[in-house]
Amino acid sequence: MTSRYLSIEGIARRFSAGGKRTTVFEDLWFAMDKGDFACIIGHSGCGKTTVLNILAGLDAPDDGVVAVDGKAIEGPSLDRAVIFQSHALLPWRTVLGNVSYAVSSRHPRWSRDQVRAHALKFIELVGLKGSETKHPAELSGGMKQRVGIARALSIEPKILLMDEPFSALDALTRGTLQDEVRRICLETAQTVFMITHDVDEAIYLADRIVLMTNGPEAVIAEIVENPLPRDRRRLDIHKQPDFYAVRNHLIDFLVERSRTFKASLPDGYQRRHPPRVRPSAAPNPTPDGDARAA
């Protein structure tokens, strides 16, 4: 095991159907430090959700191991919270009831008052103070996702896993929730692993962006270090000198290199140590293949 907070070590996932065996991905390696925010991007079929399910303990790798804080993942745990594309709220419970249910699961010996106070803190954190007694049917889509975020954060997980949590929302609500998630994660130093298909979302939220090639037999092509400052703001992110450099790099990968990468591996490529790149708008940039961080 490595000393990294989250360590994905040589995992593989294979499926059999109709007598045919398909390898979704094999020999994936990736690690995160505590407080990191990582997004994973790739086309449908490359295994992004399968990786997230393995991290959540909802699936198991055929090979390799995943560890969080030095402990191998062997099933679901309250140390890992998942926010899905749909809010998945209990319709018969109020906002407070949904969040309290999670808190009670995490702290079964707490009194009702302790549970309530803790739940209310996270309801306020996501901007839902005053809506505690509403049921899901009385909430907008964005408010429901806020409840899901509050519920996940209320158990104070070691890792927050997000599977395209904003994909079903309108653009304005989506942007607002992205702002809220970024603010909360910066304030709480929450470690986050997120799936997204949205390049701009990844650039805004993530410290590192994991690029996966097309499946089957997908691999991690490279890990992009976000060159933008951590105190970036949505309103002026496009004014950052490196914004278009990193955006064009990601789009180029998704449009072209994601399907050709495996056929022409860069010199020195190792699955155990995927290249780290840091796109920059500096004059005379270093070619991608050599722009690797230490």
Q: Is 3.30.70.3400 the CATH classification of the domain at 4-79+157-277?
A: no
Under the banding of pLDDT at 50, 70 and 90, the label for residue 294 is very low
User: Please, what is the average pLDDT of the chain?
Assistant: 91
- What does 109-145 look like in DSSP terms, one character per residue? TS-HHHHHHHHHHHHHHTT-TT-TT--GGGS-HHHHH
- For the segment 161-183, what is each residue's pLDDT rounded down to a tens digit? 999 988 888 888 889 899 999 99
Tell me, what's the pLDDT at 3? Answer: 56
Under the banding of pLDDT at 50, 70 and 90, the label for residue 265 is confident
Separation between Cα atoms, residue 12 and residue 125, nearest integer Å: 38
Under the banding of pLDDT at 50, 70 and 90, the label for residue 293 is very low
Q: Pairing mode, if any, of strands 208-212 and 220-225?
A: antiparallel
Q: Pairing mode, if any, of strands 159-163 and 63-68?
A: unpaired
Structure-token pair, residue 104: 């009670």
* Higher-pLDDT residue of 101, 1: 101
Query: Is the pLDDT reported for residue 291 higher than 50?
Result: no
Cα Dmax for the chain = 62
- What does 186-201 look like in DSSP terms, one character per residue? HHHT--EEEE-S-HHH
Under the banding of pLDDT at 50, 70 and 90, the label for residue 289 is very low
Structure-token pair, residue 271: 């699955």
Residue 204 neighbours by CB under 8 Å, 6+ apart? 178, 182, 232, 234, 237
Separation between Cα atoms, residue 207 and residue 21, nearest integer Å: 36
- For the segment 111-143, what is each residue's pLDDT rounded down to a tens digit? 999 999 999 999 999 999 999 999 999 999 999
Percent of residues in the chain assigned helix, strand, coil, to nearest 5: 35, 25, 40
Separation between Cα atoms, residue 279 and residue 126, nearest integer Å: 33
Q: Hey, what long-range contacts does 248-254 have (CB within 8 A, 24 or more apart)?
A: 248/279, 249/224, 249/277, 249/279, 249/288, 250/41, 250/199, 250/202, 250/203, 250/209, 250/211, 250/224, 251/199, 253/211, 253/221, 253/222, 254/41, 254/42, 254/43, 254/199
Separation between Cα atoms, residue 258 and residue 264, nearest integer Å: 11
Burial 214-231 (b: 16+ CB within 10 A, else e): bbebbbbbbbbbbbbeee
